[in-house]
Amino acid sequence: MALLVLLAAPSLVVAGASLTAGEIVRFPPDGLSLRWYSRILDASELRDALLRSLEVAFVCTALAVPSGTLAAIALARFRFRAALAIQLYLLLPFTVPLIGSGIGLMLLFGELGLLGRVWPVGVACCVINLPFMIWAVAASVNALDPELERAAASCGAGPVQTFVLVTLPAVAPGIVAGALIMFVLALNEFLVSLLLVDARTVTLPVQMYTQIRGVITPDLAAVSTVYVLVAAAAVLVLDRLVGLDLFLRAR
């Protein structure tokens, strides 16, 4: 219980500070007010940065769903010589420090002339976090009874038809879990975004970091609280749709 309180304490302090009626961040808050939340809607820089972060998250998810799903199914269903090497390669982003991956992607996108755009950040987030998608789908694939696919084949269904009508619906919980996780991770990605964007295309985490380096105002605490609520909502949706145990088993 003490550990849970310790883990939740920073978020609770930030949430409390965002409700202050004063002009500076403090906890306990100096009175209670929601005016800093309403001010978020009027802050054009924060609003534009949020839209860019959403674009990054959508690009990341759109790329991760097909690639992660196909990779998980292939690694779980087929046995071939290079399977272990491919699996290790797909998990490579977890063995390389994030700063190293970010610098490598920055050099690559720089050579391609893509630095300063928003969508390459989504590609980078997909590359770095793809193992989460593979793990989530792999849990559903491992729970799938192979006899279902054989039964479909014995009834005359071809490989594509079996994949679309049997395999995909069966692993849909893992796909949903992976997609939600990838979306949240991309929405909150900071370090890679910091290396790949410029002053005209900053994402919300980078914008918040830039403002924090100056003066920490309660509106930043309000934005942070919204971030926490969005992440909590995604976890709740994940639990209601497929259950958190699915992802935990995948690890």
The pLDDT, as a whole number, for residue 250 is 47
The CATH number that applies at residue 90 is 1.10.3720.10
In the predicted model, what is the mean pLDDT of the chain?
77
What is the pLDDT, as a whole number, of residue 93? 67
Q: Name the range with the highest mean pLDDT among 57-66, 105-114, 158-167, 174-183.
A: 57-66
Print the domain residue range for 242.
44-250
pLDDT by residue (tens digit) across 111-129?
Answer: 888 887 888 889 988 988 8
pLDDT tier, 251 (very low <50, low <70, confident <90, very high otherwise): very low
The pair of three-digit structure tokens given for residue 102, joined into one six-digit string: 């970010």
**What is this structure's pTM?**
0.78
Q: How many domains does the chain have?
A: 1
Is the alpha carbon torsion for 89, 95, 100, 102 positive or negative? positive
Whether residue 145 is predicted with pLDDT greater than 70 in this model: the reply is no
Q: What confidence category does residue 215 fall into, taking pLDDT thresholds of 50, 70 and 90?
A: low
Q: Is the separation of the CB atoms in 187 and 229 below 8 Å?
A: no
Is residue 125 within 8 Å of residue 60, measured between CB atoms? yes
5 assigned to some structural domain: no
Q: Is 21 helix (H, G, I), strand (E, B) or coil?
A: coil
Residue 24 lies in a domain: no
Residue 36 domain-assigned?
no
29 within a domain of the structure (yes/no): no
Choose between 150 and 196: higher pLDDT. 196
Express as a percent the part of the chain with pLDDT over 70.
78
Asked, for residue 163, whether it belongs to a domain, the answer is: yes
Q: Per the domain annotation, does 134 fall within a domain?
A: yes
pLDDT tens for 53-108 read 889 999 999 999 998 888 888 877 766 666 666 667 667 666 777 777 788 888 88
Number of H helices, E strands in the chain: 14, 0
